[in-house]
């Protein structure tokens, strides 16, 4: 049995948020004089689990209740029927889930993990924590009180040794040691920035076409971007991942900020990142000396909304009392509503926060930068084409909107994709999407895809169009503002409609005085939907914005079928599936 004063922290996440919270737990554990390590679940030697005394497991739920990629091997091991039911009898654990209550299987992975650990003899230190992205205060609304309760319970089970006391703050100020380097760095390709991508199907492609599908005078810029297929393979419903770069303007703003505060940090300043100890190793992506310009362009997310941790880092060395007091308020649990109003509601970026706290910027260090700036996370896009077409296409709405702040808010990835020129090379990788399509191609499929929610269904339709097999009924409810402005892929859809492959219903919300949305059309097609979904046991797929549309569509389908309980049964059997985003 391992030392009672050891805490092992494991995480599983598609987005990286679970890793961020796991590292925060690890850092805070130093206040309680605990040792231990942080690792992705699939990188942890699971054979050691039976030796652990205290473990925290942080995990997110993906798609239709699936575990994240970096948790799959760990989870498969735990599900082995050969494992004795007292395997983990000496282990105390806490499970923290990261989820979104818009989805039917909210925090499904965390709930299953908690239950399985109990089945194997583990003892829960406290109920599973169910963080909800939809809460006004985000994950912190559940995480902060949950982790405080966890520390109290841990102290009951394993008190701090005599002669020591709980520290007011973590002695582990930063994760790594960061130094300037005199070692010259040769020009390197973007491949360096993908050293942490743990998938085996990364491939290089280039932009073949980057076409705007909406008129120049339309309020939204939507792009259909085409890449040659290259060495990739996929099926309808799958997604492709890319990792965007910051805009040159934001990179310049960062280094102008450094110059204003006399930090002597330039784009060509080369740094090395070194592990302080084995508990938190340096990720492969940072293993070699790198110039700050490359980090600022390809690694640090300069558009991210800072979390509470960033304000604690700024407060630590801030020489100005008023600034420090405000920073500490934002970093505290009691100050989370204020932080939400300051940062989350107006979507204030970390660069803008640094400008708001000039005295804190005066004392920035290289090590602090790696705490302030979150790594750029890969973004997923539904693939809008069939592999048999020889082209990989994505349909991207370029995000730009205004808040109370002077500068408009711009989506990092969509604006980066918008700027890509024909011939630009980039690395990509594919993975299974959230939709589970029926194996029997004669099964009816009813699809609802307003706006760019059309993307995965264009792939479904093109795959069927290029297939030699007979296909079942395919119905699409598409919605947009105007038939002449944002009817994406109209030529493709009309062609498929004429051929008899597709039954198409279009809701153009602004083309008449009374707005018409997809849910209005669904209500009118009760006879057709009963035939396809009830009599023929078809599937219903919905893709698009998570704001109001999914709930309205679900209600409309219940009315069309005359049986809302049947819709709920469809959800349970995964014949009703959603893929939505904010």
Structural domains in the chain plus CATH codes: 8-157 (3.40.50.360), 202-244+378-431 (2.40.30.10), 247-375 (1.20.990.10), 445-580 (3.40.50.80)
The pLDDT value recorded for residue 190 is 46
CA 301/CA 372 separation, integer angstroms: 10
Please report, in tens digits, the pLDDT of each residue of the chain (582 residues total).
455 689 999 999 877 789 889 999 999 999 999 999 999 999 999 999 999 999 999 999 887 788 988 899 999 999 999 999 999 999 999 999 999 887 778 999 999 999 999 999 999 999 999 999 888 888 888 999 999 999 999 999 999 998 899 988 888 889 899 999 987 776 554 435 555 666 778 899 999 999 999 999 999 999 999 999 988 899 999 999 999 999 999 999 999 999 999 999 999 999 999 999 888 889 888 989 999 999 999 999 999 999 899 999 999 999 999 999 999 999 998 999 999 999 999 999 999 999 999 999 999 999 999 999 999 988 999 999 999 999 999 999 999 999 999 999 999 999 999 999 999 999 999 988 889 999 999 999 999 999 999 999 999 999 999 998 878 999 999 999 999 999 999 999 999 999 999 999 999 999 998 999 999 999 999 999 999 999 999 999 999 987 789 999 999 999 999 999 999 999 999 999 998 876
**Buried b / exposed e along 247-276 (16+ C-beta atoms within 10 A):** beebbebbbebbeebebebebebbbbbeee
**Buried b / exposed e along 153-188 (16+ C-beta atoms within 10 A):** bbeeebebeeeeeeeeebebbbbbebeebeeeeeee
Strands (E), 52-135: 54-60, 92-99, 123-124, 129-132
The pLDDT value recorded for residue 63 is 72
∠37-41-44 over CA atoms, to 5°? 55
15 labeled binding residue:
yes
Identify the CA nearest to 236 among candidates 397, 433, 429.
Answer: 433
Query: Parallel, antiparallel, or unpaired for β 123-124 and 92-99?
Result: parallel
309 labeled binding residue:
no
Helix (H) or strand (E) holding 7: strand 7-12
DSSP per residue, 241-269: EE-----HHHHHHHHHHHHHTT----TT-
412 labeled binding residue:
yes
480 labeled binding residue:
no
The pLDDT value recorded for residue 46 is 93
Joined together, the tokens standing for residue 37 give 């390590």
581 labeled binding residue:
yes
519 labeled binding residue:
yes
553 labeled binding residue:
no
Report pTM.
0.90
The pLDDT value recorded for residue 171 is 87
509 labeled binding residue:
yes
16 labeled binding residue:
yes
Which residues does 451 contact at the CB level (< 8 Å), separation at least 6? Answer: 222, 397, 479, 480, 486, 488, 544, 545
What is the DSSP-derived secondary structure letter of residue 344? Answer: I
What is the DSSP-derived secondary structure letter of residue 67? Answer: P
Q: Are 97 and 133 in contact (CB under 8 A)?
A: no
205 labeled binding residue:
no
The pLDDT value recorded for residue 1 is 45
518 labeled binding residue:
yes
């Amino acid at each position: 049995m391992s030392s009672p004063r050891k805490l092992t922290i494991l995480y599983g996440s598609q987005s990286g948020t679970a890793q961020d919270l796991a590292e925060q737990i690890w850092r805070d554990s130093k206040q309680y004089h605990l040792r231990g390590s942080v690792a992705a679940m699939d990188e942890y030697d699971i054979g050691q689990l039976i030796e652990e005394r205290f473990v925290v497991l942080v995990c997110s739920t993906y798609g239709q209740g699936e575990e994240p990629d970096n948790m799959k091997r760990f989870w498969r091991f735990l599900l082995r029927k050969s494992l004795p039911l007292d395997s983990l009898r000496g282990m105390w654990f806490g499970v923290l889930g990261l989820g979104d209550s818009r989805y039917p299987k909210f925090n499904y992975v965390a709930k299953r993990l908690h239950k399985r650990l109990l089945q194997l003899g583990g003892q829960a230190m406290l109920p599973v924590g169910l963080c909800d992205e939809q809460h006004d205060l985000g994950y912190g609304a559940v995480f902060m009180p949950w982790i405080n309760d966890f520390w109290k319970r841990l102290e009951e089970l394993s008190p701090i040794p005599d002669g020591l006391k709980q520290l007011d703050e973590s002695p582990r100020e930063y994760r790594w040691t960061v130094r300037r380097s005199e070692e010259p760095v040769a020009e390197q390709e973007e491949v360096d920035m993908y050293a942490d991508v743990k998938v085996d199907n990364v491939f290089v492609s280039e932009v073949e076409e980057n076409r705007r599908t909406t008129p120049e005078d339309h309020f939204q810029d939507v792009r259909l971007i085409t890449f040659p297929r290259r060495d990739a393979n996929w099926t309808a419903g799958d997604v492709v991942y890319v990792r965007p770069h910051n805009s040159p303007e934001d990179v310049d703003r960062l280094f102008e900020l450094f110059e204003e505060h006399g930090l002597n940090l330039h784009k060509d300043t080369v740094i090395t990142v070194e592990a302080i100890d084995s508990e938190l190793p340096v990720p492969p992506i940072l293993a070699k000396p790198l110039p700050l310009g490359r980090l600022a362009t390809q690694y640090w997310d300069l558009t991210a909304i800072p979390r509470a941790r960033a304000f604690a880092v700024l407060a630590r060395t801030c020489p100005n009392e008023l600034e420090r007091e405000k920073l500490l308020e934002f970093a505290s649990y009691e100050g989370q509503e204020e932080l939400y109003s300051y940062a989350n509601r107006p979507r204030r970026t970390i660069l803008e926060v640094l400008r708001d706290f000039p005295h804190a910027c005066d004392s920035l260090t290289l090590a602090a930068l790696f705490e302030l700036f979150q790594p750029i996370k890969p973004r997923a896009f539904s693939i809008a084409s069939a592999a048999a077409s020889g082209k990989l296409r994505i349909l991207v709405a370029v995000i730009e909107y205004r808040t109370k702040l002077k500068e408009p808010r711009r989506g990092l990835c969509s604006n980066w994709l918008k700027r890509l020129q024909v011939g630009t090379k980039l690395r990509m990788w594919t993975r299974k999407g959230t939709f589970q399509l029926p194996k029997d191609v004669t099964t009816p499929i009813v699809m609802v895809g307003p706006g760019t929610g059309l993307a995965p269904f264009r792939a479904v339709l093109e795959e069927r169009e290029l297939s030699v097999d007979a296909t079942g009924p395919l119905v699409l409810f598409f919605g947009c503002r105007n038939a002449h402005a944002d009817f994406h892929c109209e030529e493709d859809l009309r062609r498929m409609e004429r051929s008899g492959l597709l039954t198409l219903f279009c809701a153009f919300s602004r083309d008449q005085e009374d707005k018409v949305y997809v849910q209005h059309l669904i209500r009118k097609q009760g006879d057709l939907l009963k035939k396809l979904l009830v009599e023929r046991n078809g599937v219903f797929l919905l893709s698009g914005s998570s704001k109001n549309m999914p709930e309205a569509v679900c209600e409309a389908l219940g009315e069309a079928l005359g049986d809302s309980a049947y819709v709920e049964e469809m959800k349970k059997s995964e014949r009703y599936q959603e893929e939505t985003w904010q």
